[in-house]
Amino acid sequence: MSLQQKLTGTGIAIVTPFTSNGDFDWATLENLINFWIDNKIEYLVVAGTTGESATLTREEEQELFNFAKEKVAGRAGLVAGIGGNDTREVVHAFQTMQLDGYDAILSVAPYYNKPGQEGLYQHYKTIDTVAPLPIIMYNVPGRTGQSISAETTVRIAKDCKNIIATKEASGSFDQFNYIMKHKPAEFMLISGDDPIAFPMIALGARGVISVVANAYPKEFGDMIRLCLEGKFAEALPLHLKFTDIITSLFAEGSPAGVKQYLQEMGLCTINARLPVVPVSDAHAAKIKSLMATV
């Protein structure tokens, strides 16, 4: 199976379970990994945004990478989340972290610094030269404060041999259209937004890196697979079933929303690291009512 095939379909930006004192809850993570794989997910993204990477040290990320590799044991694809806003530090992480058993790295655009397009290009060009694995770039301007333009994305795709895909969470179909029209043939567009994965696949995206699939891996994964087969009429009811649920995931911050769903399912606690806090009682009640519709 080629890497493009392995990364086609539904990847989950997995949550990181914590105990009440903020330590890793390893037993829960193992159970979740088995739950996701048993429900036919294509790959897992470890220590991404939904995994609360902003409050993880590099040493903790390495612990998660090692544990996930051991428990997945080749049953699904694995992507390591390694990004940052200090290019030198990201280079150091690429050069020193142990990533045996992983298929790719998801590396978010530099945040907070708000570099211009040339700075974004130079960041990815620099990490491309030291990449131990293929890289999926990640454009999420709602979190980083700056969007990688479509033109810069295509420039990176053409100039950086190790950057094989972009996870696009800009929400701009002008951007998606340009990327699809001008990108190299093998460069992959991956949806970073659950609510628009359906139309993005119609445009040519190869799948999604999902938040909602933490809680609904089979149902959401089935919808994505139907879209990839061109069966959009069959996929549409599933897509519409999840629109309100997806909105609720982010209404009071992520991953607080999806952890509430997982707690209601008996799969994970709502424990998170500050500044993430659990959803309000009112929103928890709304989530419980939405779950009854699926």
Catalytic residue among 138, 183, 216, 259: 138
280: which 2 tokens? Answer: 């309000």
β 188-191/77-81 pair status: unpaired
Sheet strands (E) in the chain: 9-13, 43-46, 77-81, 104-108, 135-139, 163-168, 188-191, 207-210
Q: Does 114 participate in catalysis according to the annotation?
A: no
Distances from the Cα of 183 to the Cα of 9, 152, 167, angstroms: 20, 11, 14
Q: Does 216 participate in catalysis according to the annotation?
A: no
Catalytic residue among 167, 216, 259, 261: 167
Are 31 and 263 within 8 A, CB to CB?
A: no
Alpha carbon 22 to chain centroid, angstroms: 22
Residues 248 and 50: their CA atoms lie apart, in Å, by 15
* CB-count exposure of residue 101 (10 Å: 0-12, 13-18, 19+): middle
Where would I find the H helices in 100-250?
Answer: 117-128, 141-144, 150-159, 173-182, 197-203, 217-228, 232-241, 243-250
> Known catalytic residues?
138, 167
